[in-house]
Structure 1
Amino acid sequence: MCCSGFLKMMMFIFNGGIFLAGAAILGVGIWVKVDSGSLLGVLDSVEGAPSELSQLANISYMLIGVGAVLVVIGFLGCCGAIRESRCMLLTFFSIVLILFIIEVAGAVVLLVFQGLADQLLQGLEDGIRKDLTEKYGENEGVTSLWDTTMDQLKCCGGKNYTDFDQSPYFNQNQVYPDTCCNATIPEGQCNENRASAIMVDGCIDKIVQLLEDNAVIVAAVALGITALEIAAMVVSMVLYKNIGNKG
């Protein structure tokens, strides 16, 4: 009896962690989806972008899907343990096992193609220059999206300020966006001399840096969730066997 109670408590703790992690990922996915000025909008708007990179624009759906699955797993595990339902425990184990196999396969792919994201982003340079040259300052949606992105990341264009040369904005005003001068001068006075002297980093480099800076956090969260899944699978099978022995 004591052993059964301990197993239930451990299942509740493990699956509570999985449930909370899923809810957090689900929330992030929904936030990315509803954030119309997000960085992913820029990637999706660039014409001629690599087909692989365009899939990054759907990352919100992936986060929502993963989060929803983790929430369901956490619910099944907790309810299965509390109600001592062998059916729910077996369903829980099967889903977690499939998810675990997918995670291992995904980790192998990431290790094999470790530099793929950087290469794809760097390959956007020509597409971004074309997009800015043709639309920035004329297309309200593209202009607003780039202004938001450059302001949030403190960057300028894809590579640097020269991406705005011959753009409708530059042709009309003969200046570059204020972010290309790091907002260190009065508004509307970011000319070529000042932009070249300050040389604000391009957004591609900023995106790559952002991915690298958060890679450790993502890996730590993934490892934590995986550890919870393994522990929950072991405990669920022990509890499943004990419930069967009672019958």
Structure 2
Amino acid sequence: MNRSCVSCLKSMVTALIFLCWLCGAFVIALGEFQMIHSRFASLIISFWPIYPANTLVVTGTIVTCVCFLGVLGGMKENRCMLITFFILLLILMLVELAMACVFLVYSREIDTYFEGDLMRSLETYRQSSEEENRTLKDDFDAVQHLFRCCGVHGMEDWKDNIPISCCSVDPCDISIHDHWQEGCAVKLRNWFARNYVSTGAGVVTMFIIQLICLCITIPLTCHIHRRGLGYQ
């Protein structure tokens, strides 16, 4: 392999890994943005991975750390760093595939966790005093107002303690029973599903970039080994 080909391959490896690093940084920023602006986090308490923001932040953090190692290895032509990057990135890709399979296979169990969390949050809301669990109450009221729904499966979940956020008219009159009839479980599940479509598209794009990085890292690592630059 002549020097021009090596230089081109090195530049390509470094550029692609850096692009992957930027994707990871963007994923972290997107996850943090969702955490700050979303009002639903306190309602999902027992099975946190179904909350998209958490998944984005964890995945993005791991990707940026691994890709930073790969960028350094490519720039310094360090075989040890590149091999470590290759192994860690391969493990990360396998974990991503495993997580995708888990979500596909256990989607019904995830729905059960989802509805269970909402029901526990509703019961906590219903049984709390005026000043208790204000964050949870504010989040549940925000969900009902934003999605125009009431309760988990319907207004019957609240029994005789229906909150004002269930009202479908303004100003609200509880005695007239002008409440949203549809439950929030279905609407929230659809909202999370739409988030996962966009999240999944980003993960697939990043997975393709990672696969290309793995493929072109191998010849560069072999060339560095033949030149004896493994641990410089």
Q: One fold, TM greater than 0.5?
A: yes
Distance 1:41 1:98 in 2: 32
Q: Shift in Å at residue 127 of structure 1?
A: 2.8
Cα RMSD over matched residues?
2.8
Q: 1:165 aligns with which of 132, 137, 159?
A: 159
Q: Shift in Å at residue 33 of structure 1?
A: 4.8
* More moved, 204-213 vs 230-239: 204-213
Amino acid at match of 1:187: P
2:210 maps to 1:229: yes
Q: Shift in Å at residue 100 of structure 1?
A: 1.6
Q: 1:122 aligns with which of 91, 97, 115?
A: 115
2:23 maps to 1:41: no
- The verdict on how the C-alpha distance between 1:104 and 1:54 changes in structure 2, with shifts beyond 3 A counting, is closer
* More moved, 220-229 vs 104-113: 104-113
Q: Shift in Å at residue 84 of structure 1?
A: 1.2
Distance 1:211 1:32 in 2: 12
2:135 maps to 1:141: yes
Distance 1:159 1:85 in 2: 58
- The verdict on how the C-alpha distance between 1:77 and 1:161 changes in structure 2, with shifts beyond 3 A counting, is same
1:173 maps to: none
2:221 maps to: 240
Q: Shift in Å at residue 29 of structure 1?
A: 3.6
Distance 1:41 1:238 in 2: 48
1:177 maps to: 164
Share of identical aligned residues, percent? 22
Normalising by structure 1, we get a TM-score of 0.77
Q: Shift in Å at residue 232 of structure 1?
A: 0.5
Q: Does the CA contact (< 8 Å) of 2:43 and 2:139 recur in 1?
A: yes
Amino acid at match of 2:18: G
- The verdict on how the C-alpha distance between 1:177 and 1:219 changes in structure 2, with shifts beyond 3 A counting, is same
Q: Does the CA contact (< 8 Å) of 1:133 and 1:163 recur in 2?
A: no
* More moved, 125-134 vs 86-95: 125-134
Deviations 1:81-133 (A, max 9, x none): 12211121111111101112222222232232132222322344643442232
Q: Shift in Å at residue 216 of structure 1?
A: 2.8
Distance 2:144 2:60 in 1: 29
2:197 maps to 1:216: yes
- The verdict on how the C-alpha distance between 1:69 and 1:109 changes in structure 2, with shifts beyond 3 A counting, is same
Distance 2:205 2:197 in 1: 12
- The verdict on how the C-alpha distance between 1:151 and 1:7 changes in structure 2, with shifts beyond 3 A counting, is farther
- The verdict on how the C-alpha distance between 1:192 and 1:74 changes in structure 2, with shifts beyond 3 A counting, is farther
Aligned residues: 225
1:30 maps to: 32
- SS class of match (2:151): coil
Distance 1:154 1:17 in 2: 41
Amino acid at match of 1:211: F
Q: Does the CA contact (< 8 Å) of 2:14 and 2:71 recur in 1?
A: yes
- SS class of match (1:157): coil
Deviations 1:6-49 (A, max 9, x none): 212321332123212211222234345556x63120222xxxxx
Q: Shift in Å at residue 136 of structure 1?
A: 7.2
- SS class of match (2:57): helix
Amino acid at match of 1:4: V
- SS class of match (2:178): helix
2:78 maps to: 85
